[in-house]
Amino acid sequence: MSTFFLRVPLNEKVLFTKNLALSLRAGVSLVNSLKMLKKQTKSRSFKKILDVLIEDTNKGVFLSQSLGKFRKVFGELFINIIKIGESSGGLPENLLHLGDELKKKRELYKKVKGAMIYPIIILIATVVIAASMIVFVFPKILPLFQNLGADLPFTTRLLINISSLVSNYGIFLLAGFLILFVGFRFLITIPAVRFIYHRILLFAPIFNKAIVNFNMANIARTLGMLFKSGVQIIESINITSATLMNRVYKKELLEAADGVRKGEFFSKYLSANPGKFPVIFANMVEVGENTGNLTDNLFYLAEYYENEVDDFVKNLSGILEPVLLLVMGGVVAFIALSFITPIYQLTRSIK
């Protein structure tokens, strides 16, 4: 079965782990549990996946092995946690733990996405207002300005040129914008370009610290979950790297895993890269390595950085609102001056 078009929402994955754990704890067989889940799910993609899981389970295939066919859908973390649960005999417990952690990750993603709605609405409103004035209002007043016979202000001449450009070449401008947008989306699918893009984001004003905190929360929570499930440190770091979207941190963790493989402490690599891994993160990992409480410290760090992201999200509107309103006000003021100034000159000349 092709997995290219299969998409399973994170919410469905959380329900899958929780409900499967409860069914197994109640003594229901794995096959019957999967059949019940198929009846409950609303996702067509998930129904197709569950058909394969049920068929494989009937043949005696391990659940983790069957899920491996859908690696792009579920990811390394999901499959490995289940694999370890099957090996240790604690599959229901691992599924419940996985469901809890996935739920926390889902909430973190929702907060970040929700924080971007307000700025996007303001920017869209600014563009719509400016475009409406230039395309619909200004052309009706333009003949009056052209008949004045006087030198028009720079802002008015600029607006006339913009209006003419949009009126004559609007379709081409729109097509060019769409080509640029699609081209950019295509370019960032190339690993090397995506890596550069993610590196640039780490230096973005306002958002850079939030991006670091977001990645620290994901790294800490994923590593903590894997350690708690009994995965060895090198494998845990590699799996965590595979779950991250940011390619800079993917690369950093792979290099950290190589260092650990050579006998170095994980915290040593983190401390050597303070630009990407905050000092408190490296210090807490070092303390955990020395005291044997690394798993607990990682979960503490996950909570800490999730709270940092939460605070950023709550304050984002307060940070961006003055900037966005200034931009919006500047655009509207520029257009208003372009209208009012020549009209004022006309009324003075009549007097």
Count Cα neighbours of 234 within 13 Å in the Cβ-side half-sphere.
9
Mean pLDDT score, 53-75: 89
The token pair that represents 185 in the structure block: 């989306």
pLDDT at position 2 is 54
Backbone angles phi, psi at 203, to 5 degrees: -110, 5
> Who contacts 180 (Cβ-Cβ below 8 Å, separation ≥6)?
none
pLDDT at position 336 is 76
Do residues 297 and 284 touch, judged by C-beta distance below 8 A?
yes
Do residues 345 and 148 touch, judged by C-beta distance below 8 A?
yes
Distance CA 230, CA 85 (A): 9
Residue/partner pairs of 81-87 with CB below 8 Å, 24 or more apart: 81/225, 81/226, 81/229, 84/229, 84/230, 84/231, 85/229, 86/62
Out of 153-162, 186-195, 220-229, pick the least confident: 153-162
Report the candidate in 256, 310, 309, 245 with the shortest Cα–Cα distance to residue 282: 256
Do residues 313 and 115 touch, judged by C-beta distance below 8 A?
yes
Q: Higher pLDDT residue, 272 or 87?
A: 272
Do residues 282 and 274 touch, judged by C-beta distance below 8 A?
yes
Residues 272-321 have pLDDT tens digits of 988 899 999 999 999 999 998 999 999 999 999 988 888 887 777 677 77
- Mean pLDDT over each residue of the chain, to the nearest integer: 84
pLDDT at position 210 is 85
Report the candidate in 268, 236, 272 with the shortest Cα–Cα distance to residue 254: 236
Mean pLDDT score, 101-122: 76
Listing DSSP states for 225-262 in one string gives HHHHTT--HHHHHHHHHHH-S-HHHHHHHHHHHHHHHT
Q: How confident is the model at residue 180 (pLDDT cuts 50, 70, 90)?
A: very high
What percentage of the chain has pLDDT greater than the value 90? 26
The pLDDT of residue 4 is above 70:
no
Mean pLDDT comparison of 147-156, 229-238, 332-341, highest-scoring range: 229-238
- CA distances (Å), origin 214, targets 45, 91, 244, 290, 310: 29, 29, 11, 26, 10
The CATH classification of domain 116-351, taken from the options 1.20.81.30, 3.50.50.60, 1.25.40.340, 1.10.3430.10? 1.20.81.30
Residues 16-62 have pLDDT tens digits of 898 999 999 888 999 999 999 888 888 888 888 999 999 999 999 99
Residues 220-264 have pLDDT tens digits of 988 988 888 888 899 999 989 988 889 999 999 999 999 999 999
Name the one residue in this structure whose structure tokens are 């958002």: 207
Backbone angles phi, psi at 277, to 5 degrees: -120, 110
pLDDT at position 277 is 94
pLDDT at position 304 is 93
Mean pLDDT comparison of 71-80, 103-112, 336-345, highest-scoring range: 71-80
Distance CA 87, CA 22 (A): 19
Distance CA 217, CA 230 (A): 20
Domain boundaries, the chain: 10-106, 116-351
- CA distances (Å), origin 38, targets 12, 114, 229: 11, 31, 27
Report the candidate in 173, 134, 125, 128 with the shortest Cα–Cα distance to residue 156: 134
Fold match flag (10-106 vs 116-351): yes
The pLDDT of residue 350 is above 60:
no
In the DSSP assignment, the letter for residue 136 is I
* CATH architecture label of 10-106: Up-down Bundle (1.20)
